[in-house]
Structure 1
Amino acid sequence: MLKREMTLGIVVVVAVCLLAAAPAAVSPDDVSQLGKKLTPMGAIQAGTDSGTIPPWEGGIKAPIPGWKSGQHSPDPFPEDKPLYRVDSSNYEDYAQFLSAGQMAMFQRYPDSWYMDVYPSRRTVAYPEDIYAASVENASTASLTPDGNGVNNCRRTSPFPIPENGLHGIWNHMLRYRGESIQRTIGQVAPRPDGAYTMVRIEEQVLWRYNREGMTSANS
């Protein structure tokens, strides 16, 4: 058993090393789809045939009127109404869309737990230079030989057309989140009886890589 486990471990390590050493292989034709069939960030621009997900049309490009820095963001679509409600009487009809935990909530709290389902919206929007950086990164970015770093990218996710898991990991870590943030966070894990302990977190973060003017050379 030990021998088999060690052999499997060696195979996995070799496979990961080969994956990490593989260069980016996005073709010029694929890159040309960014901003066309794909959004500049790499998502499918079209909506679904069923209409449940709409096409991306640029998102919300300006703050909601009346919003001020430090406030919670207001609802940009206050006129939206629920399309339908999922509750203990019909949740099994939507089982393919629900997690095990969500279904457990319907079972444990059949009289009070429900989900109102609203129309989908695609509201994301980024600065124009972030779109430009994303398209550039698609042609230039590459993993370091050990997969623990990236080269030749700037300001946002390096692989808008990811080809493996490491690309996805680096896309998440280097995604554009603005240049800095100061926030207060409250976290709770309620117990079944409703009791909880509040954990308060104060954060001040500077994302140097995301800052305006950053290049692949000075990131």
Structure 2
Amino acid sequence: MAGNDLPRAIRSLPTGLSTLKRQVRGQLPLMDLRRKPVPLVPEKVAREQQHHAALDKLTDDLYFINPFSLFCNIASSDLMDKIHTGMAEYHDEPSELWHSHAWASSIRATSGAFAHYQSGMPIFPSDFVTFICGEAPCHCSQGAENQKLHTGRVYGVGRDFRSGQTGHIVIEIELVLLKSDITVQLDPPVLDYEGLLSWNFYYFVSECQIISYIPDVQLDYNFGDDRSGKGKVFAF
């Protein structure tokens, strides 16, 4: 086969074997392969295999990779330059997994990076909080005597790279409508200690706009919301 007939991926490989090995190890260093003899269950072994394994007392070798070695090798390889770590990112035209709500709403994917309350405690998705929206005029921005804070649930946390933004940490909050916010009559009515999760009002706020964490909030999933998974909030 002529050189020009080879696939492009093969033609791009280095001509020296030592160079090829070095580049392969740079992408992902060789990992420790471990072996452990394990006993077999006679009832689940074929008769032919039982006959050949009789002298070995029905044992076989189990091969596996040491997870510690696997993670250390990935962390020290060139792959780390291509792996996104840390918070989700908000973009005008999202194209990657870490641009999605799946990443912004998970604490498993943040690599230990969190937004924080003023007390220093981390802000987790689904926390219920009081906050200032920052939009004027609004009752949340009035003087302390007449100020009325918003209530909401943390919908996601990430860094803001939308138009004009430079990657600062933002908290996406789903507004909770309290009794005083609802202008229509509901059946059953919303009580003083209850609220409704809004499907239409979301705010992006900074850490300093989060005023406090609301503990011991319960969700009523039997309220009859028209979209499953949501419910009436109570026990404020």
TM-score, reference length from structure 2: 0.16
**Which one scores higher on RCO, CA 8 angstroms, separation ≥ 6?**
1
Report the structure, 1 or 2, having the larger helix content.
1
Report the structure, 1 or 2, having the larger strand content.
2
Q: Which has the larger radius of gyration?
A: 2
TM-score, reference length from structure 1: 0.17
